[in-house]
Amino acid sequence: MKIAVKKMKVPEYFLSVAGSYEPLLSRLEPSMQKARMKVLPQIYAGKALYFTSLAFVISFAYVLVMGIFLRLGILQSVFLSISTAIIVSAITVSGFLLYPRSIASSKKKNVETNLPFAALHMRALAGSGVPPQDVFRVLAESDEYGEVAEESRRIYRNMEVFGMDLITAVREAAKETPSDEMRQFLNGIAATISSGGDLQEYMRIASERSMTNYKLKREKWLSTLSTYADFYIGVLIAAPLFFVSILSMLAVIGGSFAGLSIPAAMYIGIYAVLPALNIAFLLFVHYTQPAV
């Protein structure tokens, strides 16, 4: 699917309209830069406008045909078609706008997870007398540090391919990194080198601070996870048991619940609502936990 989207040619009209809308481009550019997306903001905005328009037309036509087929009436079908098309278009454009931020956020999390260990490696290399540019080269050749290694490759490439000096290459990488912690670390390296300071000492302080922050984040997450566990026990274990007990008594007495028969309400709660709540809880925990 991704390949098809990349190869699909966007009409020039959408590119020109998107390119003339400066607020959209100014909103997209910072997040796209941090996400390292290899596409111009104007082209990306043009794709967003193009696919949003397609989503509107297709959803409108589909719902309109279905409404006519089901004999809902022309006015009701048109109203339902327009409402659905607006909702689908809003979801589509929101997806395009949020995608760069999602990528940048993922890269930020990866950088901040690997930085403490990469900083320890860099400290060891600097302590053994390895020149700063070779420190980044060694890190760039490593596959152990995720996005930190990718940042190092970018710094080393800027020096080797584009002829930048080390300080300029490091500062350029600091401007574009999605992580504030990585930005501070790189700016500190550039400042230490340019001022003739002790790089080994800076690496020692920075690596210790980074490792301390990493441990604090893990401890905070474990504390938060304990709160989540209490919530899970109370809401998704105790409450359903209480709910089923009440419905079981009502089934004996007779009656209904929310317009449904008691057996139907129990089936829906046990086989639909409860699994959905558990899946939602698992997804929430998964996407809020820090990377290891």
pLDDT in tens, 146-157: 889 988 998 989
User: How do the domains of the chain map onto residue ranges?
Assistant: 2-106, 109-214, 215-288
Strands (DSSP E) found in 96-239? none
What is the per-residue pLDDT for 17?
75
Cα separations in angstroms, 253 against 113, 258, 263: 57, 16, 12
Query: Does the pLDDT of residue 255 top 70, yes or no?
Result: no
Residues 201 and 127: beta-carbon distance below 8 Å = no
| pTM of the predicted model as reported, rounded to 2 decimal places | 0.68
Read off the pLDDT of each residue in 99-113 and give the average, rounded to a whole number: 87
Question: In this model, does residue 92 exceed pLDDT 90?
Answer: yes
Among the ranges given (84-88, 193-197, 232-236, 284-288), the one the predictor scored with the smallest mean pLDDT? 284-288
Number of alpha helices (DSSP H) and beta strands (DSSP E) in the chain = 13, 2
Of 115, 183, 120, residue with least CA distance to 149: 115
Q: 71: left (phi > 0), else alpha (psi -120 to 50), else beta?
A: left
Higher pLDDT pick, 247 / 92 = 92
What pLDDT digit, counting tens, does each position of 157-172 carry? Answer: 989 888 888 899 999 8
Judge contact between 122 and 207, C-beta under 8 A: yes
